[in-house]
Amino acid sequence: MTKNKIVFIIIILVSLTVSGCKENNMNSKNITAPMAKKIPTELVKHNHKRIDNYYWLNERENPEVIKYLEDENNYTKKILEDTEGLQDELYKEMVGRVKEEDESAPYFSNEYYYYNRYEKGQEYPLYCRKKEGFESDEIILLNVPEKAQAYSYYHVQNLSVSPNNIILAFGIDTLSRRRYTIKFKDLKTGKLLKDEIPNTTGSLIWANDNKTSFYTVKDKTLRSYKIFKHVLGSDVSDDVEVFHESDEAFSTYVYKTKSKEYIIIGSQSTLSAEFRFIKADEPSEKFKLITPREKNLEYHVDHRNDHFYIRTNLDAKNFRLMKTPINKTEKKYWTEVISHNKDVLLEDFEIFDDFLVLNERIKGLTNFRIINLQTNSEHYLDFGEETYSAYTSNNFEFNTDILRFSYSSLTTPSSTFDYNMNTKKKKLIKQQEVLGKFNKENYLSKRLFATAKDGTQIPISLVYKKDIKLNTTNPLLLYAYGSYGASMDPYFSFTRLSLLNRGFIFAIAHVRGGQELGRDWYENGKLLKKKNSFTDFIDCAEYLISEKYTEQNKLFGMGGSAGGLLIGAVSNMAPDLFNGLVAQVPFVDVITTMLDESIPLTTSEYDEWGNPNDKTYYDYMLSYSPYDQVEAKNYPSLLVTTGLHDSQVQYWEPAKWIAKLRDLKTDDNMLLLNTNMEAGHGGASGRFQAFKEISLEYAFLLNLLK
């Protein structure tokens, strides 16, 4: 790890000498917890000194590190040994709800219907297609179960078929570090071609000549920073670099407009963007700039007829839609199509030949505003539920009046619809089938509002089984994310039924830092206002207790990644509020990570968290960083999960956090770390393997109710 941004001194090696454990009293087996050795490392910034006793855990190849992680795994297994029967029961319940022989809703693209399907007992899908009409024989594009046999982790991404429908490109990651190798398959012969492109994002875009393609590669920090052009059959080492994003705060990517007429290179940071384009028919062209990047100017581009359509925050905090002629793309030529609305967030748009679909967020919920570009008439789609999740999906055809969208709610399984934008009729194409005795009518969902300490109303979505009494006897699991402007919409989970059927209430706190209530909602939960995310979560928890939905000893919290940061911060700020907390792949060592530019995502996220090289941000981040704020006090029971190959939040963050907590905490509550030694940020790659991880988390929660 590069340390060009922090000063450190190795003081002394301290051997592993501790034989006792404060957690011994919680079980009759008197199991000794692992105690990580201390190697005090001095970290100095802004004349402020921190001593990090567990800094050495960032040495991924160090056998002592691996042994420590394995010891923690064994300890977790022993502590939860009495729940193994429950874990198995939960796992079987989850598997039992899955239709093992199943297939996705087919979508149409360029003469073919595409879908994936699972065969009984298989962890991975077969990717398939059929000729238009869906009556022809099935063509298996990719047999993933067969390909994955030799690997403990196997992830396929971004299948892309050439315009003439002959060559398939796809990305493969076998380590879970999100470095994909792109391979090519001849769909006529069924054979893989010799072309093989390593170290990519897994995404490839075809030019219209069926032989030229564009792809993105990653640097040592896993930032996507260069776009290359590859000609099928040529040596990959001869590929031409067409764009280099030299600003470490930006990442780059490439895509094709839905009209299939232009190839676009995008360059994005948290609060700024820049785009370039060429005609898809002329892949040897030099990419032309649309408008130069500016600080705090965000925009995104698609195409229709003689114009680029541009969603932008230019003089519009909640975004508006503009358009500009293809030959006059600079900002000064942009004209307004959809004006800014201070009460409505324009999250996205979908362009068709005759229709424009706006994805608008109104009062925290997604709405589809559909505009007929020929008549200028417009209408909204009615979803019919109080709280739900909806998004447009797989709309690859440009000249169509059919909108494909996905919908679910806390009680409605994931559903795929085709909506005719002319007739205003929707057709259910597929709804996730939940086997067993599931009946959505047995569950109720609600939308509540908690009042934060500063008077802000924080939305809460919750679901529970209809036959429970709403009183303090109910256990309740509160979940949140609250970062990057990512809205945590109410969604259906068939695994969650295992909690609901045991009397749990499940709630989502839509805390600031997301974007549920517009751009202000995001901006008031980031940078120097980040603590609002944490206090909102605490205020939602206290509200649910005050309204008799649960009580303190039956309240639990959960969050992942940046949501894991939230859980970590809450464990320090309100340790007595929760019976137990689950922190999944948590970002908890904020200061050290954000000072290390060699770590993935660091420099590109200064606009989200702040740059700690600036003392103002350093001091603020230090005041909530979960690892830095661990104290000698009581903490609730904690289950922390991570993956050895995690590229988003390095495994050593939760490992160090656990080690420090174990050394300092003064209670006898459970403190458990579970590291998936073969996976990364997203956990296990197979569809059933993931249920084992969820079963462990649920068993941990249920065990705390005894």
Which residue numbers are catalytic? 561, 646, 681
Best CA proximity match to 505, nearest among 443, 459, 458:
443
Q: From start to end of 174-239, where are the E strands?
A: 180-186, 192-206, 212-218, 224-231
Best CA proximity match to 272, nearest among 251, 303, 243:
251
Distance CA 345, CA 110 (A): 33
Best CA proximity match to 679, nearest among 703, 651, 637, 640:
651
C-beta of residue 345 within 8 angstroms of C-beta of residue 369: no
Secondary structure element (H or E) that encloses residue 690, with its range: helix 689-703
C-beta of residue 393 within 8 angstroms of C-beta of residue 366: no
Quote the tokens at residue 623: 């005041």
What is the C-alpha end-to-end distance of the chain, expressed in Å? 44
Helix extents (H) in 460-580: 497-500, 519-523, 531-546, 562-573
Quote the tokens at residue 504: 């749990």
Best CA proximity match to 313, nearest among 513, 522, 172:
522
Give residue 486's Cα distance to chain centre. 9
Give the sheet arrangement for strand 415-420, strand by strand.
Answer: 389-392, 402-408, 415-420, 425-431
Quote the tokens at residue 255: 């895509």
Give the sheet arrangement for strand 580-584, strand by strand.
Answer: 443-451, 457-465, 505-509, 476-479, 555-560, 580-584, 637-643, 671-676
∠ CA 485-487-488, rounded to 5°: 140
CA distances from 395 to 34, 199, 401 (A): 52, 29, 11
Q: Is the dihedral of CA 366, 372, 375, 380 positive or negative?
A: negative
CA distances from 70 to 60, 83, 167, 320, 680 (A): 13, 20, 44, 51, 16
